[in-house]
Amino acid sequence: VAQKMISLSDLGILRVIAECIPGGGAEDPLAGLQGMTASTRAELCHGMLAAKLAESLEKVSAPRGKGGEFVELPCNSKFSLNESAPSGHSSEAVYGKLEEFHGGLIDRIGLPHVNLYKGLEDDHCGGKDARYQFTTGNYKIQTTTLDEWKALTDPEVRRKLSQGPREIRDVEELLRHPLAVKAQLLREEILALQLYTGPMYYKYNA
């Protein structure tokens, strides 16, 4: 379902629905819906909204080869359990036995650091593999765990690694983003999100 939601957002489905809803303003954007009767809302859904949705969904079609046969698209390796698997294939997750489930994470990885920032820093800078170079499977970025941490905490390293299509944003800037403010995200949560959505996903998923 999550992947379908992402794909539908790429089609602008929410915008299509928003454009079909009359009235409303900045203070109360759905005022037009609130003033409708049930029958009027039904007419909207079965009429203009249905037509607009159908038009948008027509953009979705199964990829075909030159002979008209269906073609299986490869998995996005960033979300695959095994990037070394053949193209178009991913692995089945194994979650352990029932007793391991009841044991919880503490039995497997121990208690988290009481200082979130210090815990993140130790995990990325203090490990034996912190300076070992690795290459991601999707964009073939060569980096180290230590460099990825410094990219978020050291402005000079951030500028150095922000090359080509990759732009590493300042955590302070992201903390001021409306969505981060609304969610009341901590600096440590922003850092963790930046790390996972960057090259570190490759090691986290290993």
State residue 174's pLDDT score.
96
pLDDT at 85 over 90: no
State residue 73's pLDDT score.
47
pTM score: 0.54
Cβ pair 49, 42 in contact under 8 A: no
Confidence of residue 70 (pLDDT cuts 50, 70, 90): very low
For 18-41, write each residue's pLDDT tens digit: 888 888 777 788 888 888 888 888
Amino acid at 52: K
Cβ pair 136, 79 in contact under 8 A: no
State residue 192's pLDDT score.
96
Q: Which of 1-10, 54-63, 100-109, 140-149 has the highest mean pLDDT?
A: 140-149
Domain assignments of the chain as residue spans, ordered by start: 2-57, 74-111, 112-204
Cβ pair 83, 137 in contact under 8 A: yes
Q: Can you tell me the distance from the alpha carbon of 198 to that of 163, in angstroms, rounded to the nearest whole number?
A: 13
For 105-152, write each residue's pLDDT tens digit: 777 778 888 899 999 999 999 989 999 999 998 888 999 999 999 999
CB-based contacts of 145: which residues, under 8 Å, 6+ apart?
124, 125, 127, 129, 130, 131, 132, 200, 203
